[in-house]
Structure 1
């Protein structure tokens, strides 16, 4: 079967301390990092075995923190990108690490979901990192949280990035009705698909790929239907994809997270993103 796996291990720390992010306030112990490394090694061993089972996998690393500061995630991305049964490997990252290792990636399979955090990194340094990916021909999108204090920095970044690099803006949802109509229009000029991220979609009882061909894997192998709809549906290493896969309607009233609602078929977002849905690159921006 064809399956999308979101993977999140034990680590929950970041080298940034963004005020709006709960994961920037923690520092993992050596024991936690050792556990995270062991969990990823177990996941990689499972992935290696799936080719013989006839599965085609797309894998997205979206940890509670910054993964690429740890070598085991960089090594995993390189290896996964060269596996014949892995269609795609992507990672959510602030792009703060050295990028010499990216030359070892299979560039037709690797992708980066890059987050820009004004105040945590200089714009010139951040653009330099993006330029390295761009010159290597590695697919990536760039995005930022649309808090008002970041509006000017996000607009400036859009002007400085190559036109064929998509810049998305995540709607800030910690405060209800945060944006005025004028602010939504302003951010839509920067991100033409910003309007897709503003609403929380009615989802309870509705079909979704989550749990059918999209799985949210915790480091120990526990699989949840979705990170928001936290029902545990099984164990990756015990049940396998065949034992996990089943049509499951959403149990949450609303879905407002990109990695969740993109798998709701009624929204038809494959018409916007094509085969770059996972890494959030609209079809018109594909390089």
Structure 2
């Protein structure tokens, strides 16, 4: 099976405190961190065992917090990037951690979804970190939440990044009619594919690869239909991919999240992202 696996362990703390993020002010206990470490190790061991089954896997770490400040996420990225049956391993990160360890990554399979948070780090520091990945030829995209207070910072970091680094903007959807026509025009200049993210996709009853070829795994192995539809469809370690995989039409009225709607059938994301869909690198 060719499958994509999203993994989210018990980690729910971050070294940033962005006002729009519900997890920014959490502080994990030692017990929670130890639990998360064990969950990541167990998951990596499971991935390693899948080579015998002939599965080809793409893995995306998207914890509720910043993973790369913790050694076990860095080690997991390195190990997975060198496994012959792992086609891609990517992580969502704010790039605040040292990147010296990335010398040990396989740049042919590793990738970064780097999010810039104005007010949490200096632009110079963030761009410097991006430059480290760029120098090492490790693929990455850069993104930012499109709150109006960040518009100037988005424009500035776009100008500071290499031209061939794709910058995407996540639409702020907590407030209806948040953007004016001028706002939309500006954000489209920053991200030529912003129009794809600012909309919500009618999804009820429509075909989606979630639960069939795309699996959203929790730290204890529970697999959810997706992160919006939290129906548990099995356990990765008990049932395996074959025991879980089944065509499952969407049960939600709308899909508004990139890691969800890109897996809906019939969408035109392939020509835009190609093999870089997971790490959100568009052909600019």
Q: Do both proteins adopt the same fold according to a TM-score greater than 0.5, normalized to the shorter chain? A: yes
Tell me which residue corresponds to 2:119: 119
What is the TM-score with the length of structure 2 in the denominator? 0.99
Deviation at 1:182, TM superposition (A): 1.5
* 1:23 equivalenced with 2:23 (yes/no): yes
Find the aligned partners of 2:91 and 2:270 in 1 and give their Cα distance.
20
Residues 162-218 of structure 1: CA distance to partner in whole angstroms, max 9, x if unpaired?
Answer: 000000000001111211121111100010000000011100100001001000000
Tell me which residue corresponds to 2:264: 264
Find the aligned partners of 1:31 and 1:11 in 2 and give their Cα distance.
11
The count of aligned residue pairs is 284
Tell me which residue corresponds to 1:33: 33
* 1:213 equivalenced with 2:199 (yes/no): no
Deviation at 1:147, TM superposition (A): 0.3
Tell me which residue corresponds to 1:2: 2
Tell me which residue corresponds to 2:190: 190
Deviation at 1:283, TM superposition (A): 2.6
Tell me which residue corresponds to 2:278: 278
Q: Structure 1 residue runs of 4+, over 4 Å off?
A: none
Tell me which residue corresponds to 2:238: 238
The 3-state SS of whatever aligns with 2:53 is coil
Find the aligned partners of 2:27 and 2:169 in 1 and give their Cα distance.
27
- Structure 2 stretches lacking a partner, 5+ long: none
Tell me which residue corresponds to 1:138: 138
The 3-state SS of whatever aligns with 2:23 is helix
Tell me which residue corresponds to 1:175: 175
The 3-state SS of whatever aligns with 1:52 is helix
Find the aligned partners of 1:186 and 1:11 in 2 and give their Cα distance.
35
Find the aligned partners of 2:271 and 2:132 in 1 and give their Cα distance.
29
Deviation at 1:2, TM superposition (A): 0.3
Residues 227-262 of structure 1: CA distance to partner in whole angstroms, max 9, x if unpaired?
Answer: 001111000001000001000001110100000000
Find the aligned partners of 1:81 and 1:106 in 2 and give their Cα distance.
5
| Aligned residue runs from structure 1 range 29-178, under 5 A | 29-178=29-178
Deviation at 1:268, TM superposition (A): 2.1
The 3-state SS of whatever aligns with 1:266 is coil
Aligned-residue CA RMSD (Å) = 0.6
Residues 82-130 of structure 1: CA distance to partner in whole angstroms, max 9, x if unpaired?
Answer: 0000000000000000000000000010000000000000000111000
Residues 139-181 of structure 1: CA distance to partner in whole angstroms, max 9, x if unpaired?
Answer: 0000000000000000011111000000000000111121112
Find the aligned partners of 1:247 and 1:46 in 2 and give their Cα distance.
23
Find the aligned partners of 1:168 and 1:81 in 2 and give their Cα distance.
24
The 3-state SS of whatever aligns with 1:182 is helix
Tell me which residue corresponds to 2:251: 251
Higher alpha-carbon deviation: 11-20 or 275-284: 275-284
Residues 253-282 of structure 1: CA distance to partner in whole angstroms, max 9, x if unpaired?
Answer: 010000000001221211211110000011
